[in-house]
Amino acid sequence: MRGTVKKWFQVFAFLLIIGTGTGIVAASQGPTETEHLCEDSITSAESVQYCITFSDDKLIITGENKAKKTVNSTIVVSIDGDRAINGITKMEAAKERTWKIIPKKHIDPSQTNHTVTISTFGDHTTYNFTQKVNNTDSGPVPTPEITDVEVKTAVIDGEETTVVNATVSNPTIHPYPMVLLASTEETSTYQLASTGPNDTSTVQIPLDEAPGTRVQGELRLNDGNVSEGYDQVQFNGSADESTTHQNESYTVVQASWDEEPYHYGEDDGPLGGALPADPLESPVSLAALAGGILVIGAVTRRLI
């Protein structure tokens, strides 16, 4: 009986050694040629092969040093002119490095046709894809927006004047020739609102309302083409009190430079043109505002 147990123990130990040894050999082999298959590839002058898998939702680049020594290799990924990757990478012999990019985060939303160029010293490849960005509902694509609104007074041409200060944010890597339209009960005007890449700016617009009065209105941010805008907010406030603002669905109106421009009135906005000075102090108004926003897209604005 003891001899039988000893024999089985020897067999088990032998199988364990074989299994462990096989695992060690497999690990030492590294990725197989099949695992390195990719949709496309480029090879640098330093013998670094970059395997590429591309779609408009995902870009994966895996670089492998085919040389027998450590090299420095350059990899550049340009999306609509933006350098998503730009640098020199130190690659050890037979080692890999992987880059993952979401192209939509780098595209220029003002364009419909987009170009991705992947290059290294000695080789390159290019991809093209088409995507029309809905500026007011852009998903993962960053677009300019109005982030804050304040009604203030300022001295302009020696006179105390009511103004609205809007903070415009450009979270993208592209410059935009933007225009900010202001429509209130007594004012229809606009101001250039160009903001640099990854930057914010404060745009001041003089209003016709008398200093100290409460101002209700809307601000629309676009690139000069009023039929397609980036953002729209309704605001309510005065220089003596805080200003509230609420995001709205962008609505096409006649611009302030047209012969018959759009004017903000009592029938405009989810609460008939009025936002509570502080929504938290008015639960009923806050509930009505929440319900009104759901149907604002179906409201037809008056053109005067």
End position of a domain, from candidates 84, 107, 130: 130
3-state secondary structure 9-64: HHHHHHHHHHHHHHHHHHHHHCCCCHHHCCCEEEECCCCEEEEEEECCCCEEEEEE
**Residues in contact with 231: Cβ distance below 8 Å, sequence separation at least 6, in sequence order:** 136, 143, 144, 145, 146, 220, 221, 247, 250
Whether 95 and 172 share a structural domain: no
Residue 31 is predicted with a pLDDT of 43
Q: Tens of pLDDT along 218-239?
A: 999 998 778 778 899 999 999 9
Note the pTM of the prediction, 2 decimals.
0.58
User: Per the domain annotation, does 304 fall within a domain?
Assistant: no
Q: How far apart are the first and last CA of the chain?
A: 105
Q: What is the pLDDT of residue 44?
A: 94
Mean pLDDT for 61-70 is 93
What is the reported pLDDT for 141? 80
Q: What is the CATH number of the domain that holds 116?
A: 2.60.40.10
Both tokens of 64, joined, read: 């492998």
Q: Are residues 47 and 125 in the same domain?
A: yes
The predicted structure's pLDDT at residue 259: 85
Are residues 269 and 159 part of one domain?
Answer: yes
The answer to whether residue 17 is domain-embedded is no
| Per-residue pLDDT at 66 exceeds 50 | yes
Does 149 share its domain with 290? yes
Higher pLDDT, 81 or 217: 217
75 and 158 inside one domain: no
Q: Given 74, 101, 130, which residue is the final one in a domain?
A: 130
Q: Which domain holds residue 189?
A: 145-296
- pLDDT exceeds 70 at position 70: yes
Please calculate the CA angle 98-50-59 and round it to the nearest 5 degrees: 55
| Structural domains in the chain (count) | 2
